[in-house]
């Protein structure tokens, strides 16, 4: 086969029948990862992608260099206080990964990070560059210092499969202990005496379902099974409260949750249910030493909760007896809270933007009037940052907008005064005054107004001539925030408009926004995105022949759906690790995470209406002989969340059925997982490859 000719996947008819509907799937054979024909096909696709984009090599290198030159490569994070130490991470020019460090705390003020260089007297806890030697991929799944500050639990994955090996390092001697546990998942929690470590393992469907307790100095074979979740809709997390008094076992489905607690000072006790699960009731828990009580963010209508959540309190002695503390509001979605000895900070979402509200709390558990932490820009994102110390009068937060780089502030909890600790350096001649961010509203087909966040250089004309990249996600109540991006400058400075479509299925406008874009309302996600694209053209932000759509994972499903729904609306589509074979995957409970997803997408295996609805929008099922836009697809062989064969099958069928002569390219990372390449330079090169394709497609 010539590398200049698109690969042609062989057709091997495979049939399935559900609810009286028989479907022929000619590319199901690509799901066999061990088949030499599968690997040969993926490599042929990579060769073809490289061939047809060979003319972009100089542009790729130029964009990579721009990203690199704008980044302060030797840099360090703002140190966060925990007991007698300042903890931080730093990077070194030329090195792919972070170095985790700490420094003895001799001052109440964090050390200066201005130069980005290593701090005098620092202790290196973990150098990821050393861990990565000899490997093409590295992911650190947990990084957890023991309460006494003497031990570090960390976990590593070398292929992107999200199966980690857990290890323990003695920070006083620098030696690795003999404690080693293979095949663990994210999350760990230490007992108060730093002698026991709790961790997670997954089942065959990659669902974290077991919590184990490991006694330091003993073999992993002797670890104690603390809890096993039998309901396949639920996954398990484990962690400590901010007070470090309790270990939390967080049991959660898409719409229901339950928390079990263990006294961290009595780690060998059985977990106690805080409140038994109740279908469609979600809650999350923190502990407050003042009043010795639990604070619960919840949506239980029987205790004053609602669709946008409320806060309740419960004594440690009677954890199932909740009393309302912060009322539910229709216009503000409560997201979570951070608890300290004298204050509680609530994270919330209001009018499409994130926010923080500070409540003073007295020793006896009294509750004061809340005060907002305010910011001047019309579009921004504010989030909790590293708050490691419970006994503190300072709150660490991060702030960014589409034109303001990530900025770390310390907030005085008593006065609300903000102190800027660090703003992400942007090297070169970046001037935020050259750019403008805007909120626009499109009107969906059912009349719903859909917000967009838009950024451009002020000198870019609004006459339809500007190229544009529109991004969307719209699932899992995950919100696409209007944040800053260094790589994005390579598009903006080439005259691009960049737009984020805050479509239904996300959480930007509260829980109802999510509920109107899931299950049997999922098509709203797709029609909202098309409405946003049409609005950009109608208002002359761009034109259809210069508009590129971009989404990944569940946002890749969005890309596949809008390609079928409105192929004329876009010059090109970028789909990263795309969930484009949704119906087949959700029909198969043996695949990773499928059963967990039934409360997000519906259960087509047992429900004929769900089956018919999903079949009507699943991208792979709805490819037609029409002129599709140019399509750029990227996936990873070891992805456990969206398996590589979904985009591989989709591309094969697009080539066989679709019309037109625009390029469809598929690139598969053969040594990576859901997040792509792991090293920062490798990730920048991966991004530069995509951005070069976007620039070329939108401006040709």
- Our answer to whether residue 639 is catalytic in this structure is yes
493 is catalytic: no
**Given this model, what pLDDT does residue 671 score?**
80
Average pLDDT for 212-218: 96
Q: What integer pLDDT is reported at residue 115 of this predicted model?
A: 82
Cβ contact 252:234 at 8 Å: yes
Predicted local distance difference test score (pLDDT) of residue 456: 98
List 196, 553, 585, 636, catalytic entry: 553
Whole-number Å distance between alpha carbons of 193 and 359:
31
Q: What is the pTM of this model?
A: 0.95
Q: What's the confidence (pLDDT) of residue 364?
A: 65
Long-range Cβ contacts of 84-91 (<8 Å, 24+ apart): 84/149, 85/149, 86/110, 86/111, 87/145, 87/386, 87/388, 88/113, 88/119, 90/116, 90/118, 91/680
Residue 327: is its pLDDT beyond 80?
A: yes
- The average pLDDT across 56-69 equals 98
pLDDT at position 661, please?
Answer: 86
Annotated catalytic, 179? no
The angle, 0 to 180 degrees and rounded to 10, between the axes of the packed helices 36-52 and 645-657 is 60
* Model confidence pLDDT, tens digit, residues 42-57: 999 999 999 999 999 9
**Residue 368 pLDDT > 80:** no
pLDDT-derived band at 473, boundaries 50, 70, 90 = very high
**In the prediction, which pLDDT does 370 show?**
86
> For the chain, what is the mean pLDDT?
95
Distance CA 332, CA 336 (A): 12
User: What are 219's two structure tokens?
Assistant: 């073999």
| Distance separating alpha carbons of residues 598 and 590, to the nearest angstrom | 13
The Cα–Cα gap between 509 and 525 comes to 14
Return the higher-pLDDT residue of 672 and 659. 659
Task: For residue 660, name the pLDDT band (cuts at 50, 70, 90).
Answer: confident
The answer, yes or no, to whether residue 478 has pLDDT greater than 50, is: yes
Please give the Cα distance from 158 to 679 (Å, whole number).
12
Closest CA to 598 of 261, 95, 245, 234: 234
- Note the residue count of the chain: 700
pLDDT band (50, 70, 90) for residue 2 = very low
Residues 400-453: pLDDT tens digits?
A: 999 999 999 999 999 999 999 999 999 999 999 999 999 999 999 999 999 999
Rounded distance between C-alpha atoms, residue 43 and residue 669, angstroms:
10
- Taking each helix axis from N to C end, the angle separating 523-538 and 554-565, rounded to the nearest 10 degrees, works out to 60
> At which residue do the structure tokens 């705390």 appear?
105
Q: For residue 7, what is the DSSP state?
A: P
- Does residue 333 contact residue 345 with C-beta atoms inside 8 Å? no
Choosing from 187, 639, 645, 667, the catalytic residue is 639
Per-residue confidence band for 1, with pLDDT thresholds at 50, 70 and 90? very low
Residue 3: is its pLDDT beyond 60? no
DSSP, res 680:
H
Q: Are 177 and 169 in contact (CB under 8 A)?
A: yes
Domains of the chain listed by start with CATH number: 46-68+430-699 (3.40.50.1820), 78-134 (no CATH), 136-280 (2.130.10.120)
Task: Give me the pLDDT at residue 193, please.
Answer: 97
- Main-chain dihedrals φ then ψ at residue 240, nearest 5 degrees: -105, 150
Taking residues 178-189, what's their average pLDDT? 95
Please, where are the H alpha helices in 71-202? 128-132
Q: What is the pLDDT of residues 146-175, one digit of tens each?
A: 999 999 999 999 988 889 999 999 999 999
Residue among 250, 253, 674, 678 flagged as catalytic = 674
Q: Residue 291: its pLDDT value, please?
A: 86
Return the pLDDT at 363: 60
**Angle, CA of 429, 432 and 438, to the nearest 5°:** 145
User: Closest by alpha carbon to 255, among 511, 504, 509, 479?
Assistant: 511
Summarize the confidence of residues 475-489 as an average pLDDT.
97
Percentage of the chain with pLDDT > 90? 91
Residue 334 has pLDDT above 50, yes or no: yes
CA distance readout (Å), 392 to 83, 87, 340, 344, 579? 11, 16, 7, 11, 44
CA angle 328, 334, 339 (to 5 degrees): 110
Q: Which long-range contacts (CB under 8 A, 24 or more apart) does 149-158 make?
A: 149/82, 149/83, 149/84, 149/85, 150/194, 151/177, 151/190, 151/194, 151/216, 152/125, 152/126, 153/188, 153/190, 153/197, 153/199, 154/126, 155/184, 155/186, 155/188, 156/131, 157/673
362 — pLDDT class (breaks 50, 70, 90): low
pLDDT at 366: 66
Return the pLDDT at 112: 87
Q: pLDDT digit string (tens) for 106-143?
A: 888 899 888 889 999 999 999 999 999 999 999 999 99
pLDDT digits (tens, 9 = 90+) for 519-571: 999 999 999 999 999 999 999 999 999 999 999 999 999 999 999 999 999 99
Q: Is the pLDDT of residue 365 over 80?
A: no
């Amino acid at each position: 086969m010539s590398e200049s000719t698109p690969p042609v996947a062989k057709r091997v008819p495979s049939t399935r029948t559900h609810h009286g509907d028989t479907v022929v799937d000619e590319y199901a054979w690509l799901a066999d990862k061990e088949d030499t024909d599968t690997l040969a096909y993926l490599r042929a696709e990579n060769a073809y992608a490289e061939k047809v984009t060979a003319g972009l090599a100089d542009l790729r290198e130029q964009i990579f260099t721009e990203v690199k030159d704008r980044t302060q490569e030797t840099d360090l994070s703002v140190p966060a206080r925990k007991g007698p130490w300042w903890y931080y991470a730093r990077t070194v020019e030329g090195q792919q990964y972070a170095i985790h460090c700490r420094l003895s705390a001799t001052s109440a003020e964090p050390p200066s990070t201005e130069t980005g260089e290593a701090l005098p007297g620092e202790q290196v806890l973990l150098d990821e560059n050393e861990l990565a030697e000899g490997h093409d991929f590295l992911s650190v799944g947990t990084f957890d210092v023991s309460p006494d500050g003497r031990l570090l639990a960390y976990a590593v994955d070398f292929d992107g499969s999200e199966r980690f090996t857990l290890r323990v390092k003695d920070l006083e001697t620098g030696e690795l202990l003999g404690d080693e546990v293979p095949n663990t998942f994210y999350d760990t929690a230490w007992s108060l005496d730093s002698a026991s470590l709790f961790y997670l393992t997954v089942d065959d469907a990659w669902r974290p379902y077991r919590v184990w307790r490991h006694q330091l100095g003993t073999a992993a074979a002797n670890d104690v099974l603390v809890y096993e979740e039998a309901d396949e809709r639920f996954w398990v997390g484990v962690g400590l409260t901010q007070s470090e008094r309790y270990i939390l076992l967080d049991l959660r489905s898409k719409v229901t949750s339950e928390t079990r607690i263990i006294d961290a000072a009595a780690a060998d006790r059985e977990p106690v249910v805080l409140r038994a699960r109740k279908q469609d009731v979600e809650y999350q828990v923190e502990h407050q030493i003042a009043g010795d009580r639990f604070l619960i963010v919840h949506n239980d209508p029987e205790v004053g909760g609602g669709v946008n959540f409320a806060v309740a309190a419960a004594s440690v002695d009677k954890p199932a007896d909740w009393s309302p503390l912060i009322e539910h509001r229709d216009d503000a979605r409560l997201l979570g809270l951070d608890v300290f000895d004298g204050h509680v900070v609530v994270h919330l979402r209001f009018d499409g933007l994130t926010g923080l509200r500070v409540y003073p709390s007295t020793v006896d558990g009294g509750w004061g009037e809340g005060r907002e932490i305010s910011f001047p820009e019309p579009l921004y994102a504010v989030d909790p940052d590293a708050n490691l110390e419970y006994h503190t009068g300072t709150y660490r937060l991060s702030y960014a907008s589409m034109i303001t780089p990530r900025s770390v502030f310390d907030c005085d909890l008593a006065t609300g005064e903000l102190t800027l600790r660090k703003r992400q350096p942007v090297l070169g001649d970046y001037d935020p005054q050259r750019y403008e961010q805007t909120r626009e509203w499109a009107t969906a087909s059912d009349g719903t107004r859909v917000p967009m966040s838009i950024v451009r250089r002020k000198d870019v004309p609004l006459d339809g001539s500007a190229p544009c990249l529109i991004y969307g996600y719209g699932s899992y109540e995950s919100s696409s925030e209007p944040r800053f991006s260094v790589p994005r400058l390579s598009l903006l400075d080439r005259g691009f408009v960049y737009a984020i479509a805050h479509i239904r299925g996300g959480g930007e406008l509260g829980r109802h926004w999510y509920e109107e874009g899931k299950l049997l309302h999922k098509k709203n996600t797709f029609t909202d995105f098309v409405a946003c694209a049409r609005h950009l053209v109608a208002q002359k932000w761009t034109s259809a022949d210069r508009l590129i759509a971009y989404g990944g994972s569940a946002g890749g499903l969005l890309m596949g759906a809008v390609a079928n729904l409105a192929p004329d609306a876009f010059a090109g589509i970028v789909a990263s690790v795309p969930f484009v074979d949704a119906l087949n995957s959700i029909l198969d409970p043996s695949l990773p995470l499928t059963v967990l997803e039934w409360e997000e997408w519906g259960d087509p295996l047992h429900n004929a209406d769900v089956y018919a609805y999903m079949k009507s929008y699943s991208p792979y099922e709805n490819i037609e002989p029409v002129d599709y836009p140019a399509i750029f697809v990227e996936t990873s062989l070891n992805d456990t969340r969206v398996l590589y064969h979904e985009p591989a099958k989709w591309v094969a069928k697009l080539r066989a059925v679709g019309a037109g002569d625009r390029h469809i390219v598929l690139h598969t990372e053969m040594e990576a997982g859901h997040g792509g390449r792991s090293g920062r330079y490798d990730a920048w090169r991966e991004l530069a490859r995509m951005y070069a394709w976007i620039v070329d497609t939108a401006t040709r």
